[in-house]
Structures are given as C-alpha cells and as structure tokens.
Structure 1
Amino acid sequence: MWTTKTFLTKTKRGNILKIVREHYLRDDLLCGSAACNTCPHKDDEFVLDEKPESICALFDYPHYLVLDSNVVLHQMDVLEEDALTNVIILQTVLEEVKHQNSAIFQRLLEIINNKKRKFFSFVNEHHKDTYVERNPGEKQNDRNDRAIRKASAWYESHLSINTPVGKFPRVVLLTDDENNRKLAQEQGIVCCTVKDYIENVTGFVGLTDKLSKNVMPESCSKDALYPAHLTPTQVHAGIRSGKLHQGAFHASRFNFLEGTVTVQGYEKPILLQGHIGINRAVDGDIVAIEIFPEEEWRRPSDIVLEDKADDPGDHLEEEAVLLKTAKPAAKGDEEITPTGKVVGIIRRKWRQYCGILEPSKFVGGTRHLFSPAEKCIPRVRIETRQSEALASQRILVALDSWPRNSRYPLGHFVRALGPIGDKDAENEVILLEHDVPHARFSEAVLACLPPDDWTIPEEEIKKRVDLRSECICSVDPPGCTDIDDALHAKEIPGATADGLKKYQVGVHIADVTHFVRPNTAIDKEAANRSTTVYLVDRRIDMVPDLLSSNLCSLRGGEERLAFSCVWEIDDNANVLTTKFHKSVIKSAAAMTYEEAQIAIDSTRSDAIVSSLRILNSLAKKLKKRRIENGALLLASPEIRFEVDSETHDPIEVQAKKMMDTNSMVEEFMLLANISVAEKLAAEFPQCALLRRHPAPPPANFTTFLKAAKQQGFEIDVSTNKSFATSLDKAVIPERPFFNTMLRIMATRCMQQAVYFSSGTVTKEEFYHYGLACPIYTHFTSPIRRYADVMVHRLLAACVGVDVTHASLLDTRQAHAVCDNLNYRHRQAQYAGRASVALNTHILFNTRVEVQNAVVLVVKRNALQVLIPKYGLEGPLYLPEDKFAYNEEEHAQVCGDIKLRTFDELVIRLTLDSTNLQRRKLVFQLVKPHIPGFSVVPEELDKMDVDVAIAKKTEVTPSEKKRKEEPVGKSSKKKSRKK
C-alpha cells in the first residue's frame, strides 16, 4: 500500500504546479527479534536476542531499548561502549541524526554494522503500522517524537501477541525529552532517562563517566556569570543588518583572557578581551560579534597570563590586570586594534580534547577539572569516580555544554590514552589534538592495492615514454623511503641562436594516480588524510606502505611508473620547450643530499656526476633569477633528532645542514610546479588546482619593523622585492645569527599559503608572494600530498593520457576539497612541531644545558625566547620588582640593562618534573647577569649536581646502553626533504 500527499507550489514565472508525492508502506518488514514467531526471519537475520539479559537494576525483566534522536546525538560515547546491546534504532532517528551531525551518523552506522553489538535498524517510516503523517501545524520534531512513540508501542504490542505468554521481551524507550517521556507514559510505554538508566547499570565500571552533561546553556539564569547569547533568529537579523559580524574565534596561546575573530571589512582581527568579551567561545567556534565604537578600541595585552592552577570555583576573577595592560590606545597608534565582544554562537566546533585530570580539593569528590593539552582550550568540568586511576593518565574528554552559571564548560570522560610521559600515549595525544587520521587502513582500502609482487605490465610500458635508459637519480634526506621525485640532465647537440649550449632536464614524479583511482576506497581515504604527517620517530602515511615505500617510491635500480616534466633549457637557465608525459623510469641511484654534494665536489666523471653538475649549475642560475624577481629567502628553526634504534627516544639534536644539493632539488621542483600550473590554468581556467600565497597586510609587520629599527635597520616591506633586498642588507658582522633570526621573525609575519580552485578567485590573486611568481601549484609529491594527486589527474587530462577525471571539473566540489587540503596541511605542520617539542622534553629529562637564546617577543611580564640549537620557544618570566616594562620601546629595563627583541641571551634549560601532571621546560637567565635573579656559575654547578642526583634513579635501559656504547651507533630519524 502507499500514501499520497498532494500540494500546490508557485514557480518564479508565476505558474502553478501540482506536486504529488507517494510514500510506499509495507506489512512484511521484519522486527529483527529472535523472540518473534510470525516475522519470516532467516537464522542470520535475527539481530535482537530472544531473551536479552537485563543489566539495569531498574528493570528486572528482559527488554529491548529504543533510543530517541537526542540520545544518539548526545550520548554516542556511551553507546560505543559494549554495555548496551539489543538496541532498536528507528529509521526516523537515523535520518534525523544524519541531517544534524554526519560524524555521529557514521559512528552510529559502525555500531549497527558490528553484529556483536546487536543494534537493529528498523524501517519504521515504511511500515504500515508505524508510519505517522505530520499533522497540520505540527513541528517536524514533534512529529518525529510521535513516530518514535508509535514504533515503541507497536514493538510492545507486536512482541506480546507473537510470543509465548509471559516470555516476550519488553520495550524501554530512552529519552531525555521531558514532554516526550510524559506523553509516552500516558500511552503505557515504559520509558526512562539515559542518566537514570546508565547510573543503574551493573557490571560496567566507569560507564557513568561517559554520560554527556548536556545542559541548555541559556536556561541557567540563576547566578549567571556570562551574558546570554542571542537566539539564532536575532543573530541572523543582526548580521543581515550589519550590526553584527561573524567569523572563527581564535584563542590566544599567551593569554587565556584574550582572543581574536577575523571578519570581512577589517584589516586587523577583532580583539576580544575578558571572560565577558569572549563569552564562552572556544577556539574554532564560529561566533557572532558586536564591534565596539572606535573610541573603545584597544591594544592587545602585553602580559603572558595563564589560568590559575587551583580550581577557583564558579566565579570570575578580577580582570583588572588585563584591562590595565590593554588600555585604550591613543589615536594614530599603529597597534590599536578593533575591539568587540561575542554575542552569539553560530556553530560550535567542539571535538574531543586530550589532557590531564587535576586533583579535586575534596577527598572522594566526583567533580574534577580537566586541563587540556592545548593551551588555547579552557579547562573543563567533568564527573568521574575513577579519579585515582586516571590521575597519572593522559585522558580524552568531550565537551557537552557551557551554562551561563559555570566558569568552565561541562564535559565527560571518553577514554584513557596511557600513562603521562609514555611515548606512545604522548604521540597519540599529538595526533588526536591535531586531528590527524591515524587509524590502520581499512580492509576496503587494502583491497584496492595490487599484489606485493606486482610488476609493470608490458602493455602499460607500451602506453608510456620509455626513459629507462636515461641516467636518472633521486636526491633526498638520509633514511627517506617515500621517494617521490627524481631528476636527470644531459647536454643535447646543437646550440641556441645565441650560441648557448642546450640541455635536456627532466623531473620525474611517482605516478601514484595509476594505483589510486578516483572514487575508490583508497582514493577517499587519501583525500580525507590529504597529507603524510611526519613526527620525529614515525610517519603517518597518506597511502599504505606498499605504495609509499615500495611500488610508488622511485628507489634506485628498480623500474617505476612516473609522470615526467621534461624541458629544453639553455646555458642561462632559460626554458626553451616543455613536455609532459607518462613514463617508465629506472633510477640509477638513490642518493642523500650529502652523497650528491660529495659526488659533485669530487673528481669523478661518470654519467651520474655529469648529470648532477649540470643540474647544480642550472639551479644556481634559476635561484639567482628568482631572487632578482623578488623571491623571499625566509627561515625557520629546523632541527634533526638522532634517535635510539630500539626505544626511538632522542639521543642528540642538531640543526639541519643545508647544502647546494638541497637548493638544487628545490629549484627544479619549483620549476616543475610552475610549469604544470601554467599548463593547467591554460587548459582548465575554471577548475585548475593551484596554490597561492597572499601578500601579508601591513599590520602584520608593525612589531617586526619596530624591532628591526631598534637594531638600526629600516626594512622596506612595500613590495616583496624591496623586502628581500632589505633583509639581505640587514647584517651585523659580529652577530652571524642575527640575519637568520630576522628572517625567522619575517616568516611569522607571513600569511599561510593555500590551495584553491582557479575559478574561485581573480587571476591577480593567483600570485605567490613568497616565491614571487604569478602562478604556482603542487605537482612533485603525490606520495605524501593529495593536492599533487589531483594535479596529476588534471595534467593527465590536459595531455590526453587519462580523461576519466571529469569530477574534478566541478568547481564546488574542488573548493570543498581545497578547504580540507588546507586544514590537513596546517594541522600536519602543527603536529610536526608538537612532536619536536615532545622529543625535546624527553631529551631534557636527563640533562641540564646552558644555551644561547634570542628574544622573540617582549611582553609586560616575560620574554618569549628562542633557543636556536633546538628550535625551541618558551617564556622567560621576569619579576616586577626587578624589571620595568618600557611600553614605547617594547623593552624590559633593569638598571642599565635593557632587553629588546633580537637581543641575545644565555639561558639555562631544565625540565621541571616536580609536578608529574605539568612537566615543563624551565628557562632561567644566565647572561646578562641580574643580581638576585640570574643564575650565577656557582649556583649552576650546584644545581647541575642536584639534578644529576635527583635523576640518578631514572636511568632507562636505553640510556644505560648509550653510556656503554660508542657514540654514532644509533639510527637517524627517517625524514623527508623540505
């Protein structure tokens, strides 16, 4: 049978259309219960047990659970536990969850597909006895609640009629909706709140800890600490009228009472200050803000301010210190910043957060504070009865709500990750905190792989240009196994019209797209991951190891499929012709940068060395031309760890060495990327995947220019060419690291380079500021970047070798893919830096060092300093009784000593492990010497002895082995080229 619904609608042209919708209903849909005698089940179709065991003390009889939509949306962490079985998920609930939260929907599907969990999906919307029509004037949510009640009542009736008397399982409806529960009880349906049910479950310790504390944030007006948020209707109206603005909230890492929101129409981000100004926004939330009148605009605060270690209870501390240091600036002050406040939350971007449990003030108490690993996330109130067991663990917590009368958001415990300080647990924290997909590849993905002994078929070779006879080689960091590029160069007969020599130069890139076909499971997984993530002691691959380290890796002496970009170039490094083709190559050698440099500098004269020397000579000319065009040579503190071959703990650290061969490879990768970008833009002007680097706004340079001026240098940032020239001239001979430091600071003024689809911005916006080139893309690393995979597919369509990628022509889809690429790329960078910081902490667990440091930022109560040797940053706190902050010069003054940005210091580094929950590196000033504050040599000797004695009992087997073995036997970290 079926039902029909007819309604009339009016088109834009004024025509009236009659629309008839048919909804088919059936009477043969199975109930899924093994207790039922009438539904024609097969043995393998029974999902629900005949006599389900009751685990809840409230119900001493067998029963099935029916869940409403809100239970699924808010209590997924409970549902994922093995405790609850024999659960009926109605189609009404599935569709509502899918509409509201796709991530929760996917998690629910995984549970349903797990046969051990016994979750049965019942299609109530197409069963003649459970389908309900929406009544006139009835809200969709109310109709859905009525459908859930109808299905619950039908199950109870169906099982009682078709099961032996007294033996049928009952049905219990779990709902937290008070009105829904009341109406269900009036209909004779047994129902219960999730909290009451879970708190009475026996045999599953810790299940109540996972209950979501879902309090309506604006319903708590009693003792409110925060202003109420506007309703969605008010927010929408305010944004349309221009009174309100929307944007993503970014919390400060230095000051928990500050944050910013970037909005259209304002060059600078909007500054938010204080608890009231931030008004319960959490880093990443999309918020609605009201911008204050210009006379109320302020400077950002100059202090480093952390949340207090003790639980202050539900009250807000005085914000006088913050407001005093962020007083309104005078008109014309370059540091004045538009200021505003949060008036509404448009969309929460909450996720699960890693961190530690802080001990409660009250012995035996269940309410605790959770301290996230990420500084820009507020602490969270959770309830747990496992505090003693969790005190030494890294744990995962989910946010639930943030009522107006609570200083902190409410959340619930999800799971323990492992002991604090355990290497695996700490790496898990890094991956989770930066949202790095790192689960094992699924069976569906692995099923897309060729066999381990796969070789290139002859028919495939015939389709390609055979370059196996060319002298091709790769140059990479030591230990690199995912080799995605190789090069060759040779002189070719004849000369140009100017009498210059001509060379054939080729860049050969692994042909990953031969194995990763569009819309397959492996393609979808690679698109989601978007990039390979490199930690100090491990690599999280974008594609399975069989491809990344074997079949796609251009290893020496092995035949591989490639996508080649081959140029004719004259002796002045001018490109005469460019060709692209799929190829098959056989690399003659896989070399490290150092090996290639030694070969170039040697007296050898074979084909490989000849090729490398041509490449090196041309690369220098290409680089010179780029710099003349205005390309910026920036810097970042890059280091390389030497790790133990067994424990993978860091043994030593050193700055990365840069050689001519690094630059040689980089120049030809840049040239290949530019050549491909030009080809794609010409063929697909609306959907080419490109990469642009926006010019930084002048406001980004304010602090940097002041700091450089204090050192006697006027830096011209009007264009990238004048900027590059100014940086070249800013040299202090007696301070060789100064220019590098200047370039590191300049890097931090830059905006992030981003992927984009060419049809979404104007051609002028294609420009790459840092490289000083009008168009650019990523083509050279498809093993580790999904952007390059997409570019390969587009290029293949351009040259007519593969036209199966029509979906890439969808501009909207390409834009969505670019958003994910940019997000994953940024998170991978942050994860890599966090891994360096973690391993630096491990390194300092057994050592104390005195190192040179440079001042990066001067704050009102601290100096942010950089240790060049370790690429490590941290605050050096300054006592107010010793130092005075000079606001005009951004300097800290102590008598005759003045500390400013770029000043060089000597710092003592130790790891403070006195509080296991909050291990941190401690920076202590050695030079310049400040009486009563600096660590003096005598104290250094004594403190080092004390540390050695304290840590004498902490020697691990790997440390013992290092002391017994000669230096140099540990393996180096596997890494990638820049």
Structure 2
Amino acid sequence: RRRGRITQVVNRARTQFVGTVVREQRVFGLQIAPYTPARGIRLKRKKSDRWGEGDVVVARVLDWGTAFSPVFCEVIDRIGSGDDPRNDVQFVAQTHQLPGEFPPDVAPELARLTDQFIQQEGNRRTDLRDRRLLTIDPVGAQDHDDGISIRKLSNGWEVGVHIADVSAFVPLHSALDKEAFHRGTSVYLGDTVIPMLPEKLSAHLCSLAEGQDRLALSVLMEFDRKYRLQDWKVLPSLVRSHGFLSYQEAQKILDGEQKSPFRNDLDVLWKLARTLFRERSEWGSIDFDIPEPRIELAESGIPHTISHRERLNSHRIVEECMLLANRLIAERFGGKDGEFPFLYRIHEKPDEERMADFSRLLARLGVVPDRPELLTTPASVRDVLLKVEDSPHRNLIESLALRSMAKARYGTVAAGHFGLAFTHYTHFTSPIRRYPDLVVHRLVKAGIREETYPYDVSQLASVADWCSSREEIALKAERDYIKRKQLRWLNEQVDEVFPGVISGVIAAGIFVQLDESLAEGLVPAATLGPEFVLDEERYCWSNRKGKVTYTLGDPVQVRVVSVDLRRQRANFHLIAG
C-alpha cells in the first residue's frame, strides 16, 4: 500500500474537543477518545472554573501548538462526571456537535399550526379516512412517518403507503425549514431523540397518530391476485390511522399468538412482502441482515442486558412497502432519463481495490475462489452471502461486504442503487426525521400539480451534499453511543468469560466481537506469547510452527480483563482450547 506523510494542515475540521480532564501534579490535560495526541492537550484554568479531574468537558482550542508542543484549550462547558453513565447522551451530542434547543424564531410559525389547519387543508384533499391505515413502529415511537392500508378489489388488492405530509407544515425558506435543513436528520441515542423537527410537529401534528386526522401523501398501488403491480398513483390526502402496532405485536398476530382486527390485513401484506422480496432478489438485490444490539438500560444508565435486535417478518412488511414506494416515486418524478430536477438516493458500484481485498478474504475463509472479477454485480455479491447463510462466519462476512462497498449518499443524477439493484431510488417515506424526504415531497407535489419546481439542479446538489454529511455525523454519533453503553456493560463483566468471533487482526493484537452483546475488545498481541507472529496475508496470528492459528472469523472464548472508559477501549484475554 502507498504511504505518505502530512506536510501541512490546510484547514482544521473542528475547533473544540470533548474529553475527560486528567491531572499530572499541577498541570491539567484533556484525554480524548480514541487517542490523545502524543504531544498532549493542556487546559488553561482560571480561579473561577468549577471543573476538576475526572470531569467530562467541552474545550475550545486556543493554540494548536507545533508537532512537538501541546495543544492549548480553555473549558467552555462542563458536562459532568465521566463516571456517570447518565451523561453519555450529552457527551456524544457534544462530541459530534449535535444541535440542542430549537431557535426562538421557529416559535411564531409553530404557534400558527393547529388541528384547525389540518381540517382546512384536508378539505382540499382526497379523503382517504375510510382506508384501514395501520402504523407499525418500534415500541414507544411517537414520530409515525408512515402507515399502510390494504383494500380488497374485484381483481386483486389496493395497497396504500401513506406518508406524513410534513411539507404542508414546513414551507420552503421558513424558519422551520432552515432549522430542519441545518439538522438534516433526527439522531437516535438509545431512548433519546435529537429531532429534526420540533416535538409539536414530529410527535403530534405531522405524526400519523391513531384516531387523528392527518395530512399525507398517499401512494395507492393496485396489485392483481398474484401480487403483481398493475397501476399506481400518488396524491395529497387526508388520512386517519385505525391502529398502531409495535413490530413485536404485529409479529405475534402473524404467528396466531394474538387476536387482532388487523389479522387478515397483515396476512395479505406478508404475502405481498414475500412476493416483492422475491422479485427484487431476482433482479440481484442484496439483503443484508447484520445484527444490531438492543440495549436495555437500568435507572443508573448502565445496560442490564444487551441482546440482538431480532429482524421479524413484520419488519419485512414495512421494508418492502417502503422500498417499492421509494422506487416508484424516483422512476416517475425523476423521469426515466433524469429529465426533471430530482433528489436521488445513490449507491455506487464498489471500488475495485476494496472488492479485491474482500475477494481475497473470502478465499482465505474457503467461501469462494479468489476471483474479484466475479464480484462486480449486486447478484454476484448476493450469491456469496447466500452461500454463507448457515456459516458461523455469516455476520462477519456480511459486515465486511458492507464495508467493502461505497457509502450510500444523496445526489441529483440517477446513478442507481447497487445494493438494491434499482436503477432509480429515492428517500420519500420518512420526512419527519430526514430532510431529503421533505425535499422529495415538495418535488412530488410540484410534479402532481404541474407547477414550477421549487429547486434547480444546483440547489438540489447543495442539499444532497449537506444531507449526506449530516447523515454521516448522525451515524457516527449513534455508533459512539452504542459503543459507550457496551463498554459500560463490559465494565460490569470483568473476569467473566464470553463466546465471540475474531473480528479483526492487526499488529496490536486480535479484536473479538462477543456473540450476544456485539461488544468488541482487543486481545493484545503481547498476551498471545512470543511464539506468535502476525500473518497479514492470511488474516491471522499463528505460532511459528503453524500448529495454532487465530484467524479472522474464528469462534473463540475470551475473558474480560479491563475496560478503559476514558479511552473507550476494552481488553480481553484469549481462553486456550
């Protein structure tokens, strides 16, 4: 691999740090995760300061120093004790500079938005309140972006995907719109939501709450008896949710374990979802099923359990309906040849070098021969993942496949979505929590009414770039929060033994991800013994005789040795045998 060295810092990405105060004699410093620069970060302290050793603080850079002298900062905010798990949300929010309270200029606009506005606007729309609209969301959710309805026709079914019409409440260039654009997306840190829209909109007036009249954009799709799409349309509507189910409740109804007036609706929707999934699988769509941690917190803020978040058939119903609606909207309103200004969700073809690395790894694991030229289409990647469905390496290989691919982003050119194998795709179904969906709603309404488009291509390109960057920040913040809580849990498990899988092999040692909690820690190379050496080509550590190897993907048992919450690291010890 090519190597280089930094000759000049042209621009600093940030001007402040969030970290833990440390003290060496009379000198205060700041420790940041994952690594504090070797030259150190010094804190200037005034007599009036009320922070001390062990506190988590926000510090502004005063002087970047040199390559050999420390960075000097001043503390501008004290979050609290770094040992208190209840400060984790604020720590992550400050680290990623997530927005706090909404600015005062949105208040007058919010005051004008009432239920009366919904009735007035609803009178000018198609009344679909007779449709048996059902929302299916996580337990405790309040921001219901979407609902699904199903109605029997003489020759098949009408399926409705009804999406909250946020654009009716948030005019372009209004104070609400400017703030929503600045935030870009809602951020979910456990049970805490940092919303894109104020609660009055996100949890009330826009949310498709049960029994309430709401404004929506409804995609009405007609399917024949074999669930083949025959026709569809999208229209501004007035809807009413007839019921809310959690994913778990919906699954119990599908399994016959719980009675519900929506039983028949769910049965038909499950048949539709299976048909839609089979259809896009034939096109080559990749179905990633990477486990996510489900964290249950005690009052102390420390997790009492961490388990896999199970993917249910009820999840698949919602997924398939939303994927179809997003694809249809992109195809129609972007134009087959991209002749209209539009905002797409793009997932480009993977980089050849990264796929070559992935191919070599698959060969080492004995999955397929090392032939990267065979991994150039979505269908070829899908086929590899199908081969490892029952393999102990499945989760690892799916994660590595995902890392080998380009990041999905927003753009103004219909470049397609590699992972889904769609030529046109957009985000239309979550306007309460994603700004791009709000933009697409405005474009769709302009197209329906044959009005002038509210954006030109250059404006949409700016929206695409900004929202892609905000999404990346949100994902990093959510991952950091999960990692902090996993480390809090691991800190309670010191000396306990857990099964896991080798998830990384580097010069410093072996990373192991635990099976159930998905928490990760390092087995330091020094603890393996002097006879072990790193074999980068084979993704393993082995002893010099080659009789014992620890290879990427191997199942292992580890003991939790220590957890450093300040540096955000955990150390494991490998249990022999």
Separation in structure 1 between the aligned mates of residue 542 and residue 420 of structure 2, nearest angstrom = 40
Specify whether residues 920 and 470 from structure 1 end up closer, same or farther in structure 2 by C-alpha distance, changes over 3 A only. same
Mapped contact 2:291–2:310 kept (Cα < 8 A): no
Aligned equivalent of 1:813, options 459, 465, 471: 459
Q: 1:520 corresponds to which residue?
A: 174
Separation in structure 2 between the aligned mates of residue 723 and residue 859 of structure 1, nearest angstrom = 26
Q: 1:489 corresponds to which residue?
A: 150
Specify whether residues 586 and 342 from structure 1 end up closer, same or farther in structure 2 by C-alpha distance, changes over 3 A only. same
Asked which structure has the greater RCO (Cα within 8 Å, sep 6+), the reply is 2
Aligned equivalent of 1:510, options 152, 164, 178: 164
Structure 1 residue 441 and structure 2 residue 102: aligned? yes
Deviation at 1:340, TM superposition (A): 2.8
Q: 1:40 corresponds to which residue?
A: none
Specify whether residues 541 and 877 from structure 1 end up closer, same or farther in structure 2 by C-alpha distance, changes over 3 A only. same
Deviation at 1:449, TM superposition (A): 1.3
State how many pairs are aligned.
565
Separation in structure 2 between the aligned mates of residue 838 and residue 535 of structure 1, nearest angstrom = 11
TM-score, length of structure 1 as denominator length: 0.55
Mapped contact 1:782–1:788 kept (Cα < 8 A): yes
TM-score, length of structure 2 as denominator length: 0.91
Mapped contact 2:341–2:453 kept (Cα < 8 A): no
Query: What is the 5 A alignment of 1:139-178?
Result: none
Mapped contact 1:358–1:371 kept (Cα < 8 A): yes
Query: What is the 5 A alignment of 1:258-277?
Result: none
Structure 1 residue 345 and structure 2 residue 2: aligned? no
Query: What is the 5 A alignment of 1:662-681?
Result: 662-681=315-334
Q: 1:658 corresponds to which residue?
A: 311
Q: 2:504 corresponds to which residue?
A: 857
Structure 1 residue 470 and structure 2 residue 116: aligned? no
Separation in structure 1 between the aligned mates of residue 36 and residue 177 of structure 2, nearest angstrom = 34
Separation in structure 2 between the aligned mates of residue 742 and residue 673 of structure 1, nearest angstrom = 28
Deviation at 1:636, TM superposition (A): 2.9
- Structure 2 residue identity aligned to 1:358: V
Separation in structure 1 between the aligned mates of residue 262 and residue 566 of structure 2, nearest angstrom = 55
- Structure 2 residue identity aligned to 1:627: S
Separation in structure 2 between the aligned mates of residue 730 and residue 608 of structure 1, nearest angstrom = 36
Specify whether residues 778 and 405 from structure 1 end up closer, same or farther in structure 2 by C-alpha distance, changes over 3 A only. closer
Separation in structure 1 between the aligned mates of residue 26 and residue 292 of structure 2, nearest angstrom = 47
Separation in structure 2 between the aligned mates of residue 616 and residue 450 of structure 1, nearest angstrom = 41
Mapped contact 1:456–1:560 kept (Cα < 8 A): no
Separation in structure 2 between the aligned mates of residue 458 and residue 723 of structure 1, nearest angstrom = 50
Structure 1 residue 837 and structure 2 residue 475: aligned? no
Deviation at 1:750, TM superposition (A): 1.6
Separation in structure 2 between the aligned mates of residue 687 and residue 453 of structure 1, nearest angstrom = 32
Separation in structure 2 between the aligned mates of residue 519 and residue 700 of structure 1, nearest angstrom = 41
Deviation at 1:346, TM superposition (A): 3.1
Unaligned 5+ residue runs, structure 2? Answer: none
> What CA deviation, in whole Å up to 9, does each residue of 1:797-837 have, x standing for no partner?
01018x5x75422x222222212101111111111111111
Q: 1:384 corresponds to which residue?
A: 45
Separation in structure 2 between the aligned mates of residue 706 and residue 902 of structure 1, nearest angstrom = 14
> What CA deviation, in whole Å up to 9, does each residue of 1:903-953 have, x standing for no partner?
11111225536xx85574331212x34xxxxxxxxxxxxxxxxxxxxxxxx
Deviation at 1:705, TM superposition (A): 2.6
Separation in structure 2 between the aligned mates of residue 449 and residue 710 of structure 1, nearest angstrom = 59
Specify whether residues 377 and 536 from structure 1 end up closer, same or farther in structure 2 by C-alpha distance, changes over 3 A only. farther
Deviation at 1:724, TM superposition (A): 0.8
SS at 2:330's partner residue? Answer: helix
Deviation at 1:555, TM superposition (A): 1.7
Mapped contact 2:118–2:214 kept (Cα < 8 A): no
Aligned equivalent of 1:729, options 350, 375, 387: 387
- Structure 1 residue identity aligned to 2:96: H
> What CA deviation, in whole Å up to 9, does each residue of 1:434-454 have, x standing for no partner?
2321x2112211221146862
Separation in structure 2 between the aligned mates of residue 392 and residue 861 of structure 1, nearest angstrom = 28
Q: 1:116 corresponds to which residue?
A: none
Structure 1 residue 370 and structure 2 residue 25: aligned? no
Q: 1:902 corresponds to which residue?
A: 553
SS at 1:343's partner residue? Answer: coil
Aligned equivalent of 2:263, options 603, 609, 613: 609
- Structure 1 residue identity aligned to 2:549: K
**Percent pairwise identity:** 27
SS at 1:344's partner residue? Answer: coil
> What CA deviation, in whole Å up to 9, does each residue of 1:351-394 have, x standing for no partner?
2111123323xx334xx442223438674244335799421211
Deviation at 1:881, TM superposition (A): 1.4
Mapped contact 1:635–1:747 kept (Cα < 8 A): no
- Structure 2 residue identity aligned to 1:721: A
Q: 2:115 corresponds to which residue?
A: 454
> What CA deviation, in whole Å up to 9, does each residue of 1:674-716 have, x standing for no partner?
0111122129735201110011112113443333222211164
Q: Mean Cα displacement is larger for which, 707-716 or 471-480?
A: 707-716
Q: 1:591 corresponds to which residue?
A: 245
Mapped contact 2:253–2:260 kept (Cα < 8 A): no
Q: 1:869 corresponds to which residue?
A: 516
Query: What is the 5 A alignment of 1:231-630?
Result: 337-360=1-24, 363-365=25-27, 368-375=28-35, 379-384=40-45, 389-404=51-66, 406-437=68-99, 439-450=100-111, 454-455=115-116, 457-494=118-155, 502-602=156-256, 608-630=262-284
Separation in structure 2 between the aligned mates of residue 412 and residue 891 of structure 1, nearest angstrom = 44
Separation in structure 1 between the aligned mates of residue 185 and residue 232 of structure 2, nearest angstrom = 28
Mapped contact 2:251–2:312 kept (Cα < 8 A): yes
Mapped contact 2:122–2:238 kept (Cα < 8 A): yes
SS at 2:227's partner residue? Answer: coil
Separation in structure 1 between the aligned mates of residue 257 and residue 520 of structure 2, nearest angstrom = 44
Mapped contact 2:164–2:214 kept (Cα < 8 A): yes
Structure 1 residue 738 and structure 2 residue 402: aligned? no
Specify whether residues 641 and 463 from structure 1 end up closer, same or farther in structure 2 by C-alpha distance, changes over 3 A only. same
Q: 1:707 corresponds to which residue?
A: 361
Mapped contact 1:636–1:747 kept (Cα < 8 A): no
Structure 1 residue 793 and structure 2 residue 442: aligned? yes
Separation in structure 2 between the aligned mates of residue 853 and residue 792 of structure 1, nearest angstrom = 45
- Larger Rg: 1 or 2? 1
Deviation at 1:396, TM superposition (A): 1.8
- Structure 2 residue identity aligned to 1:728: L
Query: What is the 5 A alignment of 1:915-930?
Result: 917-918=566-567, 920-926=569-575, 928-929=576-577
Unaligned 5+ residue runs, structure 1? Answer: 1-336, 495-501, 930-978
Specify whether residues 795 and 691 from structure 1 end up closer, same or farther in structure 2 by C-alpha distance, changes over 3 A only. same
Deviation at 1:751, TM superposition (A): 1.5
- Structure 1 residue identity aligned to 2:76: V
Mapped contact 1:862–1:876 kept (Cα < 8 A): yes
Aligned equivalent of 1:823, options 469, 478, 481: 469
> What CA deviation, in whole Å up to 9, does each residue of 1:158-180 have, x standing for no partner?
xxxxxxxxxxxxxxxxxxxxxxx
More strand, by proportion:
2
